[in-house]
Amino acid sequence: MAYLWCDTDDAIRSWLADLAPGSPVYLDTEFMRERTYWPQLALVQVHDGQSIRLIDTTRVSAEALSPLFQAHTLVMHACSEDLEAVAAFTGHYPARIEDTQIAAALGGEDMQLGYQKIVQMLMGVELPKGATRTNWLKRPLSDEQLHYAEDDVKYLPEVAAQLHDRLAELGRLPWWQEECDRLLAQASKEEKPEKAWRSVKGAALLPDHARAALSVLAPWRNRMARERNLPKSFVIKDAQLLELARANRTDRGMLADVGLHPKCIRRDGEALLALLEEGRTVTPPPPLPGPPDAREKKLAKTLRGKVGQVAEQVGLKPDVLMRRRWLEALIRHPERVPEPLTGWREDIITKPLLELL
């Protein structure tokens, strides 16, 4: 199947006008984000069931392409990063998705099964991986990149059809819909500023005063990264953020002592010192949960055994049925069941584990 190259709004609008509303489209994206906060969408590959289009998002407008993401079900494989790239380009997350990696997991395969592996498994076709890390924003794209991009959706309709049939036979199509809805909701959920400190590596080891300082430093860094469209580490690295939070001094010399670049100090020094002063006045947030204690480890071992038994009975990998963090949360707070353990998992595994607890 030969692909069609699309790099004008008129071509996009003409094609979309002929697609049946709500029909599935099989999609993948290529994007770059090594030096930016927001992913830069470079290419959208779409198989509409009849033909493949490679859409040059460096040339077409978000306005012309947005209806594709809102009026159709997007069938993708391992799509969490693709969703973010689409949202950065159009300003909106897609309306409906079906993730074939999730479908494969619910059919009994590994939770992180890659696209190349599933194509080989279901279609007997071995796909090359050479163009994965190339520069997708550079034009013109090489023949290797173009064929790689085409392959990313060429087999997706057949892969999706086989997985759909498998889940239908198992009675698990509602599970698939639930998991895809959950993935989309999680992707579009904005991080609360007051929780930004929790994602800083090493935050769990901070004492109270440093945790209070980090709780005001981390939201500021996130905001600066978005406004400047830079990776968070380009604003201030995690290790430097921790050193600032631990510091007992609030002077410009301290900023240099923790390793901040002179340019960073000139640009952000006054703001950082003001934030550290503010951090001295706020109540520290509760610490992050520590490692499991002896009692919790013993319970976790017992419950993991039950998870393994149930997973074997229903033909799922244990980590598809129960993630480690969900299990630890259930042990510590059985009265607060994690949201993923509701829905289809509730009767199969959540209730049996609560009974054991």
pLDDT digit string (tens) for 46-77? 999 999 999 999 999 999 999 999 999 999 99
* Same domain? 89 vs 168: yes
* Same domain? 222 vs 313: no
Question: Which residues, other chains included, contact 39 with Cβ-Cβ below 8 Å and sequence gap of 6+?
Answer: 31, 32, 33, 81, 84, 85, 88
> How far, in Å, CA of 183 to CA of 180, rounded?
5
CA distances from 41 to 33, 89, 115, 294 (A): 9, 6, 20, 47
* Same domain? 62 vs 98: yes
Please indicate, yes or no, if residue 266 is contained in any of the structural domains: yes
* Same domain? 107 vs 237: no
The one catalytic residue among 3, 26, 30, 178: 30
7 is catalytic: no
The one catalytic residue among 28, 150, 151, 179: 28
pLDDT of residue 191: 86
82 is catalytic: yes
pLDDT of residue 2: 85
187, 217, 242 — which closes off a domain?
187
187, 220, 247 — which closes off a domain?
187
Lowest mean pLDDT segment, chosen from 18-22, 164-168, 183-187? 18-22
Tokens 């991986």 appear where? 129
pLDDT of residue 154: 97
The domain in which residue 99 lies consists of: 3-187
Mean pLDDT rounded to a whole number for the chain: 96
3-state secondary structure of 191: coil
pLDDT of residue 289: 87
User: Residue 130 belongs to a domain with what CATH number?
Assistant: 3.30.420.10
Please indicate, yes or no, if residue 287 is contained in any of the structural domains: no
Tokens 């076709």 appear where? 125
* Same domain? 130 vs 251: no
* Same domain? 199 vs 259: yes
Encode 61-117 in three state secondary structure: CHHHHHHHHHHCEEEECCCHHHHHHHHHHHCCCCCEEEEHHHHHHHCCCCCCCCHHH
Please indicate, yes or no, if residue 201 is contained in any of the structural domains: yes
> How far, in Å, CA of 346 to CA of 333, rounded?
16
pLDDT band, residue 185 (cuts 50/70/90): very high
Positive or negative, the Cα torsion across 325, 327, 330, 333?
negative
Please indicate, yes or no, if residue 21 is contained in any of the structural domains: yes
The one catalytic residue among 98, 152, 243, 328: 152
* Same domain? 183 vs 217: no
Answer yes or no: is pLDDT of 132 > 80.
Answer: no
pLDDT digit string (tens) for 15-47? 999 999 889 999 999 999 999 999 999 999 999
Answer yes or no: is pLDDT of 310 > 80.
Answer: yes
* Same domain? 270 vs 323: no
Answer yes or no: is pLDDT of 223 > 80.
Answer: yes
The one catalytic residue among 3, 26, 48, 82: 82
* Same domain? 300 vs 345: yes
The one catalytic residue among 98, 148, 150, 243: 148
30 is catalytic: yes
pLDDT of residue 1: 60
pLDDT band, residue 262 (cuts 50/70/90): very high
* Same domain? 140 vs 12: yes
279, 312, 330 — which closes off a domain?
279
Please indicate, yes or no, if residue 289 is contained in any of the structural domains: no
What DSSP element (H or E) covers 119? helix 115-123
Please indicate, yes or no, if residue 350 is contained in any of the structural domains: yes
* Same domain? 7 vs 149: yes
Tell if the pTM clears 0.85, that is, is over it: yes
Q: If you average pLDDT over residues 177-204, what whole number do you get?
A: 95
* Same domain? 250 vs 218: yes
Please indicate, yes or no, if residue 140 is contained in any of the structural domains: yes
346 is catalytic: no
pLDDT band, residue 128 (cuts 50/70/90): confident
User: Residue 223 belongs to a domain with what CATH number?
Assistant: 1.10.150.80
Q: Which two tokens stand for residue 204?
A: 């769990």
Answer yes or no: is pLDDT of 318 > 90.
Answer: yes
Number of structural domains the chain divides into: 3
Please indicate, yes or no, if residue 229 is contained in any of the structural domains: yes
